[in-house]
Chain A
Amino acid sequence: MTSLETLISLLPTLMKGLVVTLEVFLLGSVVAAVLAFIAGLMRLSKFRIVRFLAAFYVEFFRGTSLLIQLFWIFYVLPFFGLDLSALTAGVLALGLNYGAYGSEVVRSAILSVPRGQTEAAIALNMSPVLRFRRIILPQAWPLMIPPFGNLFIELLKGTSLVSLITLSDLTFQAMSLRTTVSKLEIPIFALLLIIYFVIAYAVTLVMRALEKKATVGRA
């Protein structure tokens, strides 16, 4: 009885954390998707230097851990005069990290569109931009959606690290409640599990809907 009341009284705190988590997740996903496209396309450039820059970015952010990237962006960059808010730093680190993985998704999806498609488009005198926008991308896009779904879910799980740069996200709030309120570990952590699962499942559903829309009518 009382414990249920206490649990309910804890909900506002958890909700505050949830808002932070969602904020970091959604903004981080947008940044990651944008970077994935930019870097993925850069890796297909005909200019060696452009390809090199993108490859460097990808290898660098895949080869170092998200945690260290967070620390660098939040604690080290200020020494070089770049003082970012915790939210900005968190979004940036997650975006940069998952954008690096995402660029591989974009690159390989585009490469998997058969060469004959580009050739047919050239034969119809379509410009490079038109070819990409109307022929290549619509065929590559459906291939990107499932792996992007996986990346977004990974990114969601990665958001719990932002508590280490002072953001009070869902995981952080749950942890601090555990230490302030006794005997409620099990319900608090059960709640935590459910909330993350629900968000991840929502991501899956959205991606499925997108995929369905992207492949409509195709046999």
Chain B
Amino acid sequence: MALPKVLSRSEDTRKQRTQLIKKTQEGLKVGPNQRSAETTPVVRYRGVKKSFGEVEVLKGIDLDIMPGEKVAVIGPSGSGKTTLARLLMTLERPSGGIIEVEGEPLYHKRVGEGLVPADERHIARVRSKIGMVFQHFNLFPHRTVLQNVTEAPIHVKKMPRRLAEEKARAMLEKVGLIEHIDKYPGQLSGGQKQRVAIARALVMEPKIMLFDEPTSALDPELVGEVLAVIKEIAEKGDMAMMLITHEMQFAREVADRVLFTDGGKIVEQGTPEEIFEHPKSERLQAFLARFRNGFGGGSQ
């Protein structure tokens, strides 16, 4: 692998993107073209809370993710990273606050000045802009690799089968699985499964893709191939990404911005350099120290 070259390229593209995002974020504050497509965040959390029974696991999240932005989320196990992503994917309902996707509320509909709870149709329409890759892949075991990838284009997007298969093949080529398209998930390694899952999500062309610890369930020797694929997508695509990960080096290389969550809050955020080189909060310092000492783990 020509690692240094890849690295330097990613460094460049990331800097460009970071500048662009900074500009758009400034544009957001300036005002006149506040509503223009360029400055609308792809995802916005406003005061988002989530409780399971008595336990509040997200305690008011405010977060804007700009189009194309790659946001890494790090934090101890149980700090609410997964819940943050699952709320956006509509796998859990927030207990409070608003989530917007491209300026449109996900769980609410605008009626005049106010908001009312949205129906399933509205949610489905907004959800089409979001994709997710799971820790445990969740491939469909009764479908071949190709069918896993064409399932949603054909049946959700009503794409003609030929076109869907063409796209799926291109996507599977991209993740290096073109020789395996007729196999069933049970015949693949963990790394291959996760790459199929990535292709399956990508083919739906979401505006933002959520990765929830995509390599935590993999044998160590298979982590690299999956991270390489994600990195490649991050560098080439204009799709925003939320990368929940314990792979610090990876977060550093890929992310425009890193969030550190702890106790259901975003405790600190900044560029990879700010987060990893100059952590401000004690909790982040302690968290990173634990990683450096090799007690990183934890895959919940």
A130 neighbours in B (Cβ, 8 Å)? 155-156
Task: Name B109-134 residues within 8 Å CB distance of A.
Answer: 124, 127-128, 130-132, 134
Contact of A126 among B132, B152, B201 (CB under 8 A): B152
- Contact, CB under 8 Å: A122 / B140: no
> Cβ of B144 < 8 Å from any Cβ of A?
yes
A114 neighbours in B (Cβ, 8 Å)? 138
- Contact, CB under 8 Å: A125 / B124: yes
- Contact, CB under 8 Å: A124 / B136: no
A120 neighbours in B (Cβ, 8 Å)? 134, 138-140, 197
> Cβ of B16 < 8 Å from any Cβ of A?
no
Interface centre among B134, B142, B186 (most CB of A within 10 A): B142
- Contact, CB under 8 Å: B140 / A119: no
> Cβ of A139 < 8 Å from any Cβ of B?
yes
A123 neighbours in B (Cβ, 8 Å)? 89, 91, 130-132, 134, 201
Q: Which residue of chain A lies nearest to B125 when distances are taken between CB atoms in the complex?
A: A125
B186 neighbours in A (Cβ, 8 Å)? 218-219
Range of interface residues on A (Cβ < 8 Å): 10 to 19
A12 neighbours in B (Cβ, 8 Å)? none
A120 to B133, CA, bound (A): 8
Given A120-B139, A123-B132, also A219-B184 (CB < 8 A): yes
A182 to B131, CA, bound (A): 77
Contact of A139 among B132, B141, B144 (CB under 8 A): B141
Known: A125-B128, A135-B140, A217-B144. 20 other contacts (CB 8 A): A116-B134, A117-B138, A119-B91, A119-B134, A119-B138, A120-B138, A120-B197, A122-B89, A122-B91, A123-B132, A124-B131, A124-B200, A124-B201, A125-B127, A125-B152, A126-B152, A127-B156, A130-B156, A134-B155, A139-B141
Residues of A within 8 A of B (CB): 114, 116-117, 119-120, 122-127, 130, 134-135, 138-139, 217-219
